[in-house]
C-alpha cells in the first residue's frame, strides 16, 4: 500500500524545478512488478522528476524504479505521492542517470 507524504512538496526540493505543461512531455516508468507505465511529466530538476500517474498500484514511497525520459535512462526512487483532484497522482522521484541495460 502507498503512503502519502505529510510534508509540503515544495519543502522537499533541493534544486529548482522546471514545470512542464501537461501533455507535452512524457516518461516511461519501469516497475519490477508491472507493465511499463506511460506518464505525463509535471516538472523536472537536476536530480529529480515529477510525474502524473493515473494509477499507483504496486508503487510506494521508497520504491525503486527505472525511468526513460528525454532519451535518457534513470534509476529512480519514489520520494512522495500526492493525490490529485482528477483522481490521478503526482509522484516525485529522485533520479540518477544510468547506462541503459
Please tell me the predicted confidence (pLDDT) of residue 8: 46
Q: Please tell me the total number of residues recorded for the chain in this structure.
A: 101
Predicted confidence (pLDDT) per residue in 46-62, tens digit: 889 999 999 998 889 99
Handedness of CA 89, 98, 12, 59 (dihedral sign): positive
Cα separation, 99 vs 73, whole angstroms: 6
Alpha-carbon gap, residue 22 to 25, rounded angstroms: 7
pTM of the predicted structure, to 2 decimals: 0.81
| pLDDT band of 6, cuts 50, 70, 90 | very low
Coil, strand or helix: which one is 68? strand
Q: Is the pLDDT of residue 85 over 50?
A: yes
First to last CA, the chain: 29
Amino acid at each position: 500500500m502507498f503512503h502519502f507524504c505529510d510534508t509540503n512538496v515544495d519543502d522537499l526540493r533541493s534544486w529548482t524545478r522546471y514545470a512542464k505543461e501537461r501533455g507535452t512531455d512524457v516518461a516511461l516508468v519501469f516497475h519490477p512488478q508491472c507493465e511499463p507505465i506511460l506518464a505525463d511529466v509535471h516538472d523536472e530538476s537536476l536530480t529529480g522528476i515529477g510525474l502524473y500517474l493515473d494509477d499507483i498500484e504496486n508503487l510506494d514511497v521508497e520504491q525503486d524504479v527505472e525511468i526513460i525520459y528525454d532519451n535518457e535512462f534513470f534509476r529512480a526512487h519514489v520520494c512522495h505521492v500526492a493525490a490529485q483532484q482528477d483522481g490521478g497522482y503526482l509522484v516525485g522521484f529522485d533520479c540518477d542517470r544510468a547506462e541503459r541495460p
